Amino acid sequence: MKKNLIIVESPTKSKTITRFLGKNYAVKASMGHLRDLPKSTLGVDVENDFTPKYINIRGKGDLIRELKAEAAKADKVYLATDPDREGEAISWHLAHILGLDDKSPCRIEFHEITSGAVKEALKHPRPINMAMVDAQQTRRIIDRLVGYKLSPLLWRKVRKGLSAGRVQSVAVKIIADRDKVIDEFVPEEFWTIKTKLREEAGAPLFEAEAVKKDGNKLEMHNAREALAVENDLKQAAYKVEAAFRKKVSRRALPPFTTSTLQQEASHKLNFTTRRTMMVAQQLYEGISIGKSSAGLITYMRTDSTRLAAEAVDAVRELVKQDFGDKYCPEKPNVFSNKSNAQDAHEAIRPTSIERKPEEIEPFLTKEQYRLYKLIWDRTVASQMAPAEFEQTALTIGAGAYELKATGSVMTFDGHLCLADKKDLNAEKQTEVPFIKSGTVLTLYKVLPGEQHFTEPPAHYTEASLVRKMEEEGIGRPSTYSPIIQTIQTRGYVVRDGKKLMATELGVKVADMLTGHFGDIINIPYSARMENELDAIAAHQVEKEKTLADFYKPFEQLLEEADRVIPKDPPPLQLSGEKCELCGKDMVIREGRFGKFQACSGFPQCHNTKPLLVTIGVPCPKCGGEVTQRRTKTGRVFYGCEHYPECDFTSWDRPTDKPCPVCGKQLLERTEGNGRIKYFCSDPECTNAAPKRVGRRKKVTTASLIEGETADTEKKTAKRKTAKKKRTKKTGSRKKGAGNAVKKAEE
């Protein structure tokens, strides 16, 4: 008896689906794409409507033969790849390889891997959606044209081995522009002054901040000005001039889209976008829970906040049972999508809200549990009543000065009952008594003025870059994570903690591409291209027209850039040091992580070592130059150029700002949320940085710098070993070729 064959993309998904279906079905995995454009050539015939020349991917021959054999034995073949453009294209390639008619009902689609969803999909097979395939092919062809046409230009003009991408270059430019703003930012000093007041003796105290003087905004730029305001406030009489009290509510946030899941997982779980999508894929494809197996969440590549009506009903019922009727609003909460959202799939939600995180925790890894709980909590909270607050605002007159006192107290937690304790603690609940206008107040104390510095915008993190790309319409849910991974892999961007920073190489490449190809490598064009792809998928635009409209101006820009950009690479710069191995001059070269010193005798001598990069700030201990270095794991730290005579080292960046307490240098620390704080470099000062919580291995300047040098030596040794292996391998190949010729002659 013949079986029906279902082809999915991953082995995990095939195992999960096999458990749902009977013996009449066989489920196999294609392991992603089986056909693609060739790596060795362009693979696109630009003269004949940009026809792609697909070939079977090398190394997948055995799998293709196995799938062909299974398809030949099957009564019916169903293609069940992911429900997006990429999945549709994989199904189209599979149909071509297996000899299936793509117009026949061979494609099934489901957005959650549950028994009901899979069986329902089998009842409604459809032909392959060629419009979606065309949209995917258009993106693939344009990216191939850009990559294979621009990369050789970079090899000739910048450095061999570089590669270019249409959307990735825009992402690098976004990061580089932010880095430039931060580097050029000049902090400005300002002060704030608060007072402690009360209505009468024994009444509760509350704080009020001085905000105006003579009707204008109060500005204090130094300690002297702040002291003058302090003295004035000590002599002033205080009276309430206006009082307001109102109730405000805060609605629940919508359920997760791909973008918001990546951002929230970064903020709360410290996950990278890649890690988030990898764990989400595991939850989607299926987890064994006891004797059963099912996908725990719906498809995780989506830009919609919509929930299915059945899911909404199930969530509302759970809220009533577990939290009470007052936590469930009268009508379901409805959230609007963004204007450019495709709304092809639901928001990311649990496939069954009855599977509570704590009940299935024993069957999940730690990462799977944390991400599932994040999704479960957000889905349930999205259908809960708003949190309610009572806000009080007082405007207080004090002679020529005006002060403000604001307070907010939560009166009903609503959806915030599912928030983390950390998030609830971050809610600034400040009680300010409601005091009628005209009431005279008593001054308890004028608090010492606080010194502040204006802060530059924060460096992009993976989360904020995803948000920026979504806001600008760059990429789609399935592309955010690959874009971020690609620009890091190519060495155009590096991570420092959570911060993303463009390397010198990244800035150079991005400036060159956006400078000479600014008409197609920019934010507006990238967003417009995404809309074009959406239009192709919706049968509104022809693929060939979009490709022609792109390629003609691109080809002209390419010819112009090749003619204008200087061909000769800049001469190597001497570092001023001699190689300790062979005695030749050391020169400054550039790698994926920036500049380094290398022996000018390369390739005979492979000696390399770090290039000391000064930051223009004196050492707090000896007054020498502070240098920026990297540990062997890539983390940035700061040390004195006079090591080992001076042992100064710091994870925090030294600045030239004076400490307001003792006058010594301040250190700049970027917190996990991107905010910048300043601490004194003297550990004995009251303004010194708090000690880090938890046990941490003691790190000294010597261990950091020696580790950096040792890491360079390890890389050199590794290169030598690899070279020996390559030589040995090449020799054996030559010997084998010689034997083959000898046998042929015989």
**Mind telling me the catalytic residues?**
299
Query: Are the CB atoms for 592 and 616 separated by under 8 Å?
Result: no
Query: Are the CB atoms for 228 and 468 separated by under 8 Å?
Result: no
Half-sphere exposure of 42 (CA within 13 A, CB side): 15
Q: Report the alpha-carbon distance of residue 270 to residue 671 in Å, rounded.
A: 13
Q: Report the alpha-carbon distance of residue 608 to residue 613 in Å, rounded.
A: 15
Note the helical H segments in 361-500. 366-381, 421-426, 462-472, 480-489
Task: With H, G, I as helix, E, B as strand and everything else as coil, classify residue 636.
Answer: strand
Query: Are the CB atoms for 712 and 704 separated by under 8 Å?
Result: no
Residue of 154, 147, 137 lying closest to 42 (CA atoms): 147
Residue of 81, 95, 101, 129 lying closest to 537 (CA atoms): 129
Q: Report the alpha-carbon distance of residue 241 to residue 395 in Å, rounded.
A: 6
Phi then psi for residue 457, to 5 deg, are -60, 150
Q: Report the alpha-carbon distance of residue 281 to residue 303 in Å, rounded.
A: 16
Query: Are the CB atoms for 30 and 90 separated by under 8 Å?
Result: yes
Q: Report the alpha-carbon distance of residue 154 to residue 532 in Å, rounded.
A: 28
Q: Report the alpha-carbon distance of residue 746 to residue 735 in Å, rounded.
A: 17
Distance of CA 635 to the CA centre of its chain: 18
Between 462-472 and 166-184, two packed helices, what is the crossing angle to 10 degrees? 120
Query: Are the CB atoms for 554 and 519 separated by under 8 Å?
Result: no
Q: How is the beta sheet containing 649-650 ordered, strand by strand?
A: 613-618, 625-630, 636-640, 649-650
Q: Report the alpha-carbon distance of residue 707 to residue 157 in Å, rounded.
A: 35
Half-sphere exposure of 711 (CA within 13 A, CB side): 14
Q: Report the alpha-carbon distance of residue 34 to residue 64 in Å, rounded.
A: 8
Q: Report the alpha-carbon distance of residue 653 to residue 619 in Å, rounded.
A: 11
Q: How far are the Cα atoms of 390, 607, 611, 710 from residue 703, in angstroms, in the given order? A: 54, 21, 18, 10
Residue of 385, 386, 393 lying closest to 430 (CA atoms): 393
Query: Are the CB atoms for 163 and 508 separated by under 8 Å?
Result: no
Query: Are the CB atoms for 434 and 204 separated by under 8 Å?
Result: no
Residue of 413, 414, 248, 388 lying closest to 319 (CA atoms): 414
DSSP assignments along 180-241, one per residue? HHHHH----EEEE-EEEEESSTTSPPEEEEEEEETTEE----SHHHHHHHHHHHHH--EEEE
Task: With H, G, I as helix, E, B as strand and everything else as coil, classify residue 613.
Answer: strand
Half-sphere exposure of 172 (CA within 13 A, CB side): 31
* Secondary structure tally for the chain: helices H, strands E: 19, 31
Half-sphere exposure of 44 (CA within 13 A, CB side): 21
Residue of 474, 394, 391 lying closest to 438 (CA atoms): 394
Q: Report the alpha-carbon distance of residue 435 to residue 441 in Å, rounded.
A: 9
Query: Are the CB atoms for 360 and 289 separated by under 8 Å?
Result: yes
**What b-and-e string marks burial along 89-102, b requiring 16 or more CB atoms within 10 Å of the CB?**
bbbbbbbebbebeb
Query: Are the CB atoms for 606 and 580 separated by under 8 Å?
Result: no
